[in-house]
């Protein structure tokens, strides 16, 4: 069931009528039943996977919470991690690895009867798996007490507003909210409704309109000129932002109406002045999850662990054998030699080395989290590289600008421009169907062939989308800088005007047809 479908409108209307009519246990049961119904509407068979995951983590979490024996706690934690990652790897990555391995064997002249399986990717598996894992890990770390009520836990895992595309809400933030009695609160309803409407504006009016142009660009990149493709790449950057942050806004808004507070998932990421800031503003729930459950356990910016080296060597070896890009050995050896050299330069340099390594591993896994394709992995590699380059060069870069006495607003503008440009470059690989397509786009853009307005097709869509992007940026800046949303929601006259305005804009600019949200596939 998509948020932007008629059936969801019916579903949510009935749900809210019942939600505020009951409380206590019936309300909890209603939430759980509605969540399972919402997910089962897509494919009821995969409900069993959610139920299984719920049962395993509820049991394991309870057992970890009930014992102080470090050995048993660790073993139980591994059961949870292996079970969750096992589901994820099987459904999401099995065919990818088998397929890549088969290609490699064929390339070296060996033939195999290994077959890929006809596996359907369960919607939202990456989201609820990570959510579920955070529960057992937090209990293991003694940051959270095990939940005693399986209904509460099952509702937490399957909570429909954020089940299929996040935000990834951690048990430590979410479970305590179940203890609150959530009476009808008009202020929360208004705030939530405002956020839901804003989310629909982003999805239906902007993301889906941009999709019309972006799909054509990335569908047959060889047929378009450079300006057409540049516009296509920029539009894609905004499409994915509006699609995903639109979903998050709807999810957070619905939860707010129900009485739950979810953390923000996006904070105008394209205004970031460096790449670390970008990751503090983009898909915050995933980046903070990766930071807390992967980057820091690997050693973070302090030291390294066996894990950092293990993952790097594993990635490198798999990439080398599958792609057979043997030339990668040369930069590989150079990087390894530099690491050893750095390691010998004292504790400070050693810590830096591990920081770079840990950053790269985290970003590579972050890339792979999005999907089973080499292009996603490369996207992660690019972002890992950006973060490393930033750490290496930000100091001399800032010093140079200060020496040249470049005004601060120009410095900020340049930084935002660089981050946006580099992010767009990485987005090409994220969206392209293959490396060939991505390189075709990059080659065409860099050649500047057909760099003219007359060579741009679908000019009407371009003008419409450019207008909508401008509108989005103006409103988001106003909301962030002047706390506009609070002011708009407080006074009925402004509230009515702003809500009505959003509906009119959606009616006039929206692209309808229940297009799925991009992040459903992850």
Partner 1 sequence: MSIVQQEKIAPTTSTSTQKQSWLWIPIFLLVVVAGDRAGGFILKQIESKSKFRFTKLYHEDAACDILIAGNSRGLSFYQPFIEEKSQQKVFSLAYNGMSSSLGLVFIKDYYDLYAPPKKLILEITCADRFNHELTPAFATYSSYSTHLREFLKKESNKTYYASKLSHLLRYNSEVFQRSLRYLKNDDKLWLTDRTISEAMQEESKLLDNVSIDLIPELQISLAEIVKLAQSKGTEVELVVAPFLPNYHSALYNLDAYIQEVEKNTGLQVHNYGNAIKDSKLFGDYFHINVFGSEKFVDQMHQDGLF
- The residues assigned a catalytic role are 370
Count of other CB atoms within 10 angstroms of residue 459: 10
Tokens of 9: 């409108």
Minimal distance, residue 60 CB to partner 1, in Å:
17
Sign of CA dihedral 90, 96, 97, 99: positive
Under the binding rule (CB under 8 A), the answer on residue 102 touching partner 1 is no
Question: Residue 257 in contact with residue 193, Cβ under 8 Å?
Answer: yes
Of 174, 138, 173, the closest CA to residue 61 belongs to 138
User: Using the rule CB under 8 A, which residue among 499, 515, 516, 520 binds partner 1?
Assistant: 499
Minimal distance, residue 33 CB to partner 1, in Å:
15
Question: Which CB atom, from 31 or from 294, has the smaller least distance to partner 1?
Answer: 31
118: left (phi over 0), alpha (psi -120 to 50) or beta: beta
Choose one: 172-180, 293-301, 308-316, 338-346; the region binding partner 1 (CB under 8 A): 172-180
Minimal distance, residue 151 CB to partner 1, in Å:
8
Choose one: 66-74, 77-85, 430-438, 496-504; the region binding partner 1 (CB under 8 A): 496-504
Under the binding rule (CB under 8 A), the answer on residue 354 touching partner 1 is no
Q: Long-range contact list for 91-100, CB < 8 A, 24+ apart? A: 91/49, 91/119, 91/120, 91/121, 91/122, 91/125, 92/121, 92/125, 92/126, 92/371, 92/372, 93/368, 93/372, 94/119, 95/119, 95/372, 96/372, 96/373, 97/372, 100/322, 100/374
Under the binding rule (CB under 8 A), the answer on residue 7 touching partner 1 is no
Task: Report, in angstroms and rounded to the nearest whole number, the Rg of the chain calculated over CA atoms.
Answer: 24
Minimal distance, residue 445 CB to partner 1, in Å:
13
Q: Count residues contacting partner 1 (CB under 8 A)?
A: 50
User: Using the rule CB under 8 A, which residue among 11, 87, 130, 178 binds partner 1?
Assistant: 178
Under the binding rule (CB under 8 A), the answer on residue 145 touching partner 1 is yes
Under the binding rule (CB under 8 A), the answer on residue 466 touching partner 1 is no
Tokens of 476: 């988001």
Tokens of 179: 């203890």
User: Using the rule CB under 8 A, which residue among 82, 106, 222, 406 binds partner 1?
Assistant: 222
Question: Which CB atom, from 98 or from 189, has the smaller least distance to partner 1?
Answer: 189
Minimal distance, residue 424 CB to partner 1, in Å:
22
Under the binding rule (CB under 8 A), the answer on residue 449 touching partner 1 is yes
Count of other CB atoms within 10 angstroms of residue 107: 12
Count of other CB atoms within 10 angstroms of residue 490: 11
Minimal distance, residue 231 CB to partner 1, in Å:
16
Question: Which CB atom, from 262 or from 278, has the smaller least distance to partner 1?
Answer: 262
Question: Rounded to the nearest 5°, which phi and psi values hold at 330?
Answer: -65, -55
Question: Which CB atom, from 162 or from 498, has the smaller least distance to partner 1?
Answer: 498
Under the binding rule (CB under 8 A), the answer on residue 62 touching partner 1 is no
Q: Of residues 19-38, which lie at the interface with partner 1 (CB under 8 A)?
A: 24-25, 27-28
User: Using the rule CB under 8 A, which residue among 138, 147, 208, 249 binds partner 1?
Assistant: 147
Tokens of 361: 């591993």
Q: Write each residue from 179 to 218 as x if it is in contact with partner 1 (CB under 8 A), else as -, in one continuous string.
A: xxxxxxxxx--x----------------------------
Question: Residue 141 in contact with residue 74, Cβ under 8 Å?
Answer: no
Question: Which CB atom, from 291 or from 495, has the smaller least distance to partner 1?
Answer: 495
3-state DSSP of 6-38: HHHHHHHHHHHHHHCCCCCHHHHHHHHHHHHHH
Residues that bind partner 1 (CB under 8 A): 24-25, 27-28, 145, 147-149, 151-152, 175-176, 178-187, 190, 222-225, 259, 444, 449-450, 454-455, 460-461, 463-464, 492, 495-497, 499-500, 503-504, 507-510, 512
């Amino acid at each position: 069931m998509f948020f932007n479908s008629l059936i969801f409108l019916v579903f949510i209307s009935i749900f809210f009528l019942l939600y505020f009519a009951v409380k206590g246990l019936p309300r909890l049961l209603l939430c759980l039943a509605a969540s399972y119904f919402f997910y089962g509407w897509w494919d009821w068979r995969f409900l069993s996977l959610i139920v299984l995951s719920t049962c395993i983590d509820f049991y394991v979490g309870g057992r970890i919470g009930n014992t102080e024996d470090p050995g048993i706690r660790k073993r139980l934690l591994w059961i949870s991690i292996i079970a969750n990652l096992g589901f994820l790897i099987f459904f999401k990555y099995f065919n990818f690895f088998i397929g890549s391995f088969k290609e490699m064997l064929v390339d070296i002249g060996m033939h195999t009867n290994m077959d890929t399986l006809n596996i359907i990717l369960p919607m939202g598996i990456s989201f609820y798996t990570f959510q579920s894992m955070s529960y057992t890990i937090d209990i293991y770390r003694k940051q959270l007490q095990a939940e005693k009520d399986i209904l509460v836990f099952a509702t937490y895992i399957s909570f429909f507003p954020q089940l299929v595309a996040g935000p990834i809400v951690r048990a430590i933030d979410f479970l305590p909210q179940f203890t609150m009695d959530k009476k009808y609160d008009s202020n929360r309803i208004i705030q939530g409704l405002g956020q839901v409407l804003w989310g629909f504006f982003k999805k239906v009016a902007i993301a889906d309109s941009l999709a019309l142009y972006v799909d054509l660009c990335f569908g047959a990149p060889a047929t378009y000129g450079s300006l057409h493709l540049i516009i296509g790449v920029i539009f894609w950057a905004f499409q994915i932002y509006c699609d995903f942050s639109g979903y998050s806004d709807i999810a957070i808004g619905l939860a707010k109406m129900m009485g739950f507070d979810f953390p923000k998932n996006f904070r105008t990421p394209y205004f970031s002045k460096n790449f670390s800031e970008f990751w503090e503003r983009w898909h915050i729930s995933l980046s903070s999850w990766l930071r807390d459950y992967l980057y820091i356990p690997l050693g973070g910016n302090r030291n390294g662990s066996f894990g950092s080296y293990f993952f790097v060597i594993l990635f490198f070896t798999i990439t080398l054998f599958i792609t057979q890009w043997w030339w990668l050995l040369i930069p590989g050896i150079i990087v390894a030699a530099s690491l050893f050299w750095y390691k010998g330069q004292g504790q400070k340099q050693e810590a830096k080395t591990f920081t770079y390594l840990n950053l790269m591993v985290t970003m590579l896994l972050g890339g792979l989290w999005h999907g089973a394709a080499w292009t996603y992995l490369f996207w992660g590699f690019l972002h890992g590289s950006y973060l490393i380059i930033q750490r290496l060069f930000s100091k001399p870069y800032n010093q140079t600008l200060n020496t040249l006495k470049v005004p601060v607003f120009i410095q900020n503008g340049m930084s935002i421009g660089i981050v946006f440009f580099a992010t767009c470059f990485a987005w090409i690989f994220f969206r392209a169907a293959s490396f060939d397509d991505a390189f075709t786009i990059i080659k065409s853009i860099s050649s500047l062939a057909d760099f003219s307005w007359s060579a741009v097709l679908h000019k009407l869509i371009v003008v419409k989308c450019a207008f909508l992007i401008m509108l989005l940026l103006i409103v988001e800046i106003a909301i962030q800088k002047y706390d506009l949303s609070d002011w708009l929601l407080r006074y009925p006259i402004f509230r009515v005007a702003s809500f009505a305005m959003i509906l009119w804009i959606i009616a006039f600019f929206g692209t309808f047809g229940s297009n799925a949200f991009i992040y459903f596939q992850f």
